[in-house]
Amino acid sequence: MQQEQATAQGTRRAPEPPIHGPEGFEGMRRAGRLTAEALDLLMEATQPGVTTEALDKLAYEFAMDHGAYPASLLYRGYPKSICTSINHVVCHGIPNDKPLREGDIVNLDICLILDGWHGDSSRMAYVGEVPRKAQRLCEITYEALMRGVAAVKPGGSTNDIGRAIQTYAESERCSVVRDFCGHGLGRTYHDAPTILHYVEASYDVPFKPGQFFTVEPMINLGRPAVKVLGDGWTAVTRDRSLSAQFEHTVGVTETGVEIFTISPKGLHQPVNPAA
């Protein structure tokens, strides 16, 4: 989500992140699993020549077939069921009728609402065989997500996530996008706390068991600056460098963290076709 919106939610409207009980965890497990299954389907369907509109249709039909609804559809006027962000698009790319091209990397982002609970996740997919530097960026971004998730446990606070991600990404000579962040969710799509993917001393929320939120770092090969195109959604890197993103929905447990959006097929990271 966009950061100004998040900060407004974080500081003015909903300073206290909601604490959920066992029925919340049950609901999030089901919504998260369905979201992960949808991404498995989308990952397998991503091929050269396929349009992002075709992927969007697949996602919409999957949601309808499983009694779910795509949270992004008509959200603040967003027209589609998924976001498809290709190459230098950072996030919120709108599916269209242009065929994917061999060598593209594309982020597939979907949030499914099941029985009122939101499961939000995104992964990178390779379109055919992708260049080594694009592959490297995707690997670094997945590792950054998992380091951020691993930093979640009671006694810590949201800056532990930002520190883990920023330290690692910058050590790999990549940059962390500042303008978009993770967010609390549950029965609503965007809630407190805001999850920044870099360290921000002025905003730090303690982790408590029962909090649900996303971790969704956007990592660039070049500079962190982004701009939003005239459609009001598509965010691109200002320097047109490649950008990647992975996202999980997680819950804080008594001892650590539970990931709700694990891929049943183990398709978290894309792979280049064997040479």
Query: Taking CB under 6 A as the rule, which mask of x and - marks residues 184-223 in contact with ligand MF3?
Result: --------------------------------x-------
Residue 163 in contact with ligand MF3, rule: CB under 6 A: no
Helix or strand or coil: residue 110?
Answer: strand
Minimum CB separation from Co ion for residue 111, in Å? 6
Residue 109 in contact with ligand MF3, rule: CB under 6 A: yes
Query: Taking CB under 6 A as the rule, which mask of x and - marks residues 123-162 in contact with ligand MF3?
Result: ----------------------------------------
> Whose CA is closest to 56, among 41, 36, 68, 77?
41
Minimum CB separation from ligand MF3 for residue 240, in Å? 21
Task: Report the C-alpha gap between 49 and 47 in whole angstroms.
Answer: 6
Out of ligand MF3, Co ion, none, what residue 78 binds, judged by CB under 5 to 8 A for its kind, is: ligand MF3
Select from 20, 33, 88, 92 the one that contacts ligand MF3 (CB under 6 A). 92
Out of ligand MF3, Co ion, none, what residue 33 binds, judged by CB under 5 to 8 A for its kind, is: none
Residue 75 in contact with ligand MF3, rule: CB under 6 A: yes
Question: What DSSP element (H or E) covers 107?
Answer: strand 105-114
- Vertex 185, ends 180 and 187: CA angle to 5°? 145
* Amino acid in the structure at residue 5: Q
Task: Report the C-alpha gap between 235 and 225 in whole angstroms.
Answer: 10
Q: Is the dihedral of CA 44, 107, 231, 99 positive or negative?
A: negative
Query: HSE-up of 209 (CA within 13 Å, CB side)?
Result: 6
Q: Which residues pair with 250 in a beta bridge?
A: 213, 259
The interface region with ligand MF3, picked from 46-54, 72-80, 164-172, 261-269 by CB under 6 A, is 72-80
Out of ligand MF3, Co ion, none, what residue 92 binds, judged by CB under 5 to 8 A for its kind, is: ligand MF3
The interface region with Co ion, picked from 58-66, 112-120, 169-177, 226-234 by CB under 5 A, is 112-120
The interface region with Co ion, picked from 44-52, 60-68, 114-122, 220-228 by CB under 5 A, is 114-122
List all residues 6 or more positions away from 181 whose beta carbon is below 8 Å from its beta carbon: 1, 3, 6, 194, 195, 196, 197, 216
> Is residue 247 a known part of a binding site?
yes
Task: Report the C-alpha gap between 268 and 261 in whole angstroms.
Answer: 10
Query: Taking CB under 5 A as the rule, which mask of x and - marks residues 203-222 in contact with Co ion?
Result: -----------x--------
Minimum CB separation from ligand MF3 for residue 233, in Å? 6
List all residues 6 or more positions away from 4 whose beta carbon is below 8 Å from its beta carbon: none
Distances (CA, A) of 131 to 86, 162, 219, 243: 14, 28, 17, 14
**Contact residues: ligand MF3, CB under 6 A:** 1, 72, 75, 78, 83, 92, 109, 120, 183, 216, 247
Known binding positions? 92, 109, 120, 183, 190, 216, 247
Known binding positions for substrate? 92, 190
**Contact residues: Co ion, CB under 5 A:** 120, 214
